[in-house]
Structure 1
Amino acid sequence: MAFSNLNLSYLSLAKSLDVPVLSQLRLCSIVPLQGMTFYVPGEVIKSSRLPGVRILGYGLEKAPGGVGFCVVQPGVLQTDDKQQAWISIHSKRYIPQLGDHVVGVVTSRAGELYKVDIGSADQAYISFLSFEGATKRNRPNLGVGDVLYARIVRASRHLEPELSCVDAELKSRGMGKLEDGFVFKISTNHARRLLRASCRLLKLIGEQIRFEIAVGINGKIWIKSDDLNKVFFKFLFLN
């Protein structure tokens, strides 16, 4: 459906939402700079600076000799309560990282593989067996344009990223084909903020509007709701 056909009235929609929700929307789009350190590629962050970190995300690699972590992308160092660290940068270009959960769009089929656009330099691929309950006789019914919520199971600078819609126990855990709804893109930095446990934005919106959402760390977001007008209103603020 074209956006011009949604017949939006931004003023009336804004009045229908509480002020705290709009304030939270604005606050989530601002990156606080006070007390943060900007790093450039080549700098080494000592292990004592990141105690307990077990997962390295975007922009970080293990430094030679185990002396710490090497910065490979410019930005601000960020950590979370899941023992993960990464370099935060306002970018719409996604670099696949092992274990990331992403939203992608099927672009083609090649034999037993599906090509999926996840917003990276190379398209990802997923096998038809990488779905819960899939067998050679029971294959997932996927077509071009279908939306998937999946995780990165293989990431390399020299190879296309590989996706899977099951975990180590072969359970989907919410991953797989996303029905209906629509997809839009925000910066990867904004997507990470939405996924933080401390971000109350989605909870506050959920108190006003009933919707389903899947946030990919690659900056692609899938939203489904019975009220397309209000969903598009949220899209304007998130983007």
Structure 2
Amino acid sequence: MSASIVLPGDPIPLESLIDFSSSEAEPTIQLGPGTLHIPPSTVVPIRAGALMTSSSKSATTTTIYIDTPTGRYTPAIHDVVIGTVTSRFGDLEKAYYRISLPSCTSPQGILSASAFANAASRKTRPNLAPGTVIYARISATSLALGEPELECFDEKTGKEAGFGELKGGMVADISVGLARRLLLLSSSSSFQDTQKMSVVDILGQSLAFEIAVGRNGRIWINSDNCATTVAVIRAIQETEDLPYLEMQEHVAKILKQMRK
């Protein structure tokens, strides 16, 4: 993963960002938030921020996006988010939930009661009460829709794959920039390239916990005891801007305080 500061309209030099000779197959370029394609082959940023690239584990796909560490999250298809059920509407056959999406330019999303794995019949669909925390994927968004549509299953397999109700645990806020970085580190080859672990990797060496990261700047942490959950949340929130070595030291300090 690499970064440089760009301004709207600056041409993005793809040749310097992507190694077209690293594999036999021609690499695929995927444009993320904050970028615009001008045919035939020009890509420019549409907002100021850090120009980021991240390669897939197979190194055949490179994602290019503009990272802004502060501000609100703009919904994009395929992104994962953490939200809270606020209400239910519709009839028995076509029921829907309204989902609160904090730190998002669209503060509410819509989730169909049938948009879950194994929800083909009414009997197998979940009955979510207001206040339920859910982990979902954005399946559709547009100005016409107004509110993004959500679903709680893996689009490739149709299985649950961790989506749905997040039971127990605690939810906390982080910056949208940190959320994106944590998600990229969990799905890219960045760790192998840099030999530097994320704060989540370091915590995982000493603690047992579950984590879900929402692109809208929310994390859900669950563990066997409250002290571990709070320590994990503190470590993630307090080390965002620290250099790698200082981050390691601060995590060690938090763990020491937790064990007293």
Q: Name the TM tier (shorter chain).
A: 0.7 to 0.9
Aligned length: 205
2:27 aligned with 1:44: no
Structure 1 residue aligned with 2:67: 88
Q: What are the equivalent positions in structure 2 for 1:17-56 lying under 5 Å apart?
A: 36-51=3-18, 52-56=27-31
Q: 2:131 aligns with which of 136, 145, 160?
A: 145
Structure 2 residue aligned with 1:15: none
Structure 2 residue aligned with 1:26: none
2:55 partner SS: coil
Q: What TM-score results when the alignment is normalised by the length of structure 1? A: 0.77
Q: After TM superposition, which residue ranges in structure 1, 4 or more long, deviate above 6 angstroms? A: none
**Identical counterparts, % of pairs:** 35
Contact 2:221 2:232 in 1 (8 A): no
Compute the displacement of 1:171 (Å).
Answer: 1.3
Structure 2 residue aligned with 1:185: 173
Q: Which structure ranks higher in relative contact order (CA pairs < 8 Å, sequence separation ≥ 6)?
A: 1
Contact 1:150 1:165 in 2 (8 A): yes
State the alpha-carbon separation in 2 of the partners of residues 54 and 117 from structure 1. 32
2:179 partner SS: helix
State the alpha-carbon separation in 2 of the partners of residues 238 and 192 from structure 1. 13
Structure 2 residue aligned with 1:12: none
Cα gap change, 1:70 to 1:53, in 2 (>3 Å) = farther
Structure 2 residue aligned with 1:100: 79
Q: What are the equivalent positions in structure 2 for 1:1-239 lying under 5 Å apart?
A: 36-51=3-18, 52-63=27-38, 65-82=39-56, 83-111=62-90, 112-119=95-102, 120-122=104-106, 123-138=108-123, 139-159=125-145, 160-166=147-153, 167-195=155-183, 196-197=185-186, 198=191, 199-239=197-237
Deviations 1:5-59 (A, max 9, x none): xxxxxxxxxxxxxxxxxxxxxxxxxxx9xx8431122333244355434322221
Q: What TM-score results when the alignment is normalised by the length of structure 2? A: 0.72
| Structure 1 unpaired stretches of 5+ | 1-31
Compute the displacement of 1:133 (Å).
Answer: 0.8
Query: Over aligned residues, Cα RMSD in angstroms?
Result: 2.2
Cα gap change, 1:180 to 1:92, in 2 (>3 Å) = farther
